[in-house]
Amino acid sequence: MPVDKFKLSDSQKADAIFQILNAGCDLDNWECKYVILDVYEKYALVYNYELSQYEQVDYVKSDENDSVELGEHRVCYIMDITEAEKAALDLIHAANGGTYENLNENFVSVENVAEKDSKIEELNNSLSTLQVENENLKSEAEVAATKISDLEADNEALKTFKYNVEKQEKIDAISNYNELLDKDVLDKYIEDVDNFTIDTLKKELAFALVEKNPTIFTKTVEHLPKDAPTGGIEEILSKY
């Protein structure tokens, strides 16, 4: 048959720890060095009368031989705190992995919190300032965009006006040749009027006219008749 293992109860563990801590304490000698206050899963909370201090005493129980072995002793402190303070400490204890050790490494100090709060407020103020500046820049950009749009519209209007003036000037130049060139030739120039400057168009029209009538610019010498004699010496001389 299998041998059942022993299991120590909480009171049995407390008795065993007490006996080890107070070796020599018996019916004949009631002078005890330690008193057991509470027993937890891995350590016992005790009070050391000799040193007047609370201690945590590690222990390991053995169910094989129904015994307890003690380990490290650590000084601890029982604090007089309120229920609210106890709740806050419990939260810190839980957040720190079930211990109060190394809190300086795992938690920021009150001064650091205040410093970080101040930095956060400063950054929030900077953010608000930047947001205001951003809105102002957006407004300025919208005003500038409106001005650009207006200028572009004005520029297009000026371009259209300039185009119409120049086109009319070219049409008038072509009209000057209505009696000199054939209609189909003039219509061709009117159709392609946008491809000419006014100076180029005038040269083209003049060239077309010369091609049609090469003699149009030929110099003609007119022989004027001699004046009729008026009598006297003029009449005599006119015979010679």
Answer for the pair 96, 107: CB distance below 8 angstroms, yes or no.
yes
Mean pLDDT throughout 186-209?
90
Beta-carbon contacts of residue 145 (< 8 Å; ≥ 6 apart): none
pLDDT tens digits along 20-78: 898 877 767 778 899 999 999 899 999 999 999 999 999 998 877 778 899 999 999 88
User: Above 70 in pLDDT, residue 204?
Assistant: yes
- Please report, for residues 223, 226, 227, the alpha-carbon distance to residue 235 in angstroms, rounded to integers and kept in the order given: 21, 12, 11
**Same domain, yes or no, for 87 and 70?**
no
pLDDT at 28: 72
**Same domain, yes or no, for 3 and 72?**
yes
**Same domain, yes or no, for 72 and 91?**
no
What is the H or E stretch that residue 236 is in?
Answer: helix 233-237
**Same domain, yes or no, for 17 and 68?**
yes
Residue 192 within a domain: yes
Residue 87 within a domain: yes
Residue 37's nearest CA partner among 54, 22, 60 is 54
Mean pLDDT throughout 155-171?
91
Count of the separate structural domains present in the chain: 3
CA angle 62, 63, 68 (to 5 degrees): 35
Band of the pLDDT at 225, cuts 50, 70, 90?
low
Q: Please give the backbone phi and psi of residue 19, each rounded to the nearest 5 degrees, phi first.
A: -65, -40
Give the DSSP letter of residue 92: H
**Same domain, yes or no, for 15 and 71?**
yes
**Same domain, yes or no, for 8 and 51?**
yes
**Same domain, yes or no, for 18 and 67?**
yes
Band of the pLDDT at 240, cuts 50, 70, 90?
very low
pLDDT at 100: 79
- Please report, for residues 48, 127, 220, the alpha-carbon distance to residue 119 in angstroms, rounded to integers and kept in the order given: 48, 12, 101
Residue 156 within a domain: no
Answer for the pair 173, 198: CB distance below 8 angstroms, yes or no.
yes
**Same domain, yes or no, for 65 and 50?**
yes
Residue 222 within a domain: no
Say what percent of the chain tops pLDDT 90: 34
CA dist., res. 8 & res. 26, Å (int):
22
Residue 118 within a domain: no
**Same domain, yes or no, for 10 and 38?**
yes
Which domain-ending residue is among 25, 57, 76? 76
Say what percent of the chain tops pLDDT 70: 82
Residue 103 within a domain: yes
Structure tokens given for 4: 């059942």
**Same domain, yes or no, for 38 and 71?**
yes
Which domain-ending residue is among 107, 123, 151? 107
Band of the pLDDT at 3, cuts 50, 70, 90?
very low
Mean pLDDT throughout 199-225?
76
**Same domain, yes or no, for 38 and 58?**
yes
Beta bridge partners of 61: 68
SS (H, E, C) 120-139: HHHHHHHHHHHHHHHHHHHH
Residue 48 within a domain: yes
Residue 187 within a domain: yes
pLDDT at 113: 65
pLDDT tens digits along 182-195: 899 889 989 999 99
**Same domain, yes or no, for 91 and 54?**
no
pLDDT at 59: 94
pTM of the model as a whole: 0.38
Give DSSP secondary structure letters for 143-201.
Answer: HHHHHHHHHHHHHHHHHHHHHHHHHHHHHHHHHTTTTTS-HHHHHHHHHTGGG--HHHH
Q: 200: domain range?
A: 164-216
Higher pLDDT, 65 or 179: 179
Query: Between β-strands 53-62 and 43-48, what pairing exists: parallel, antiparallel or unpaired?
Result: antiparallel
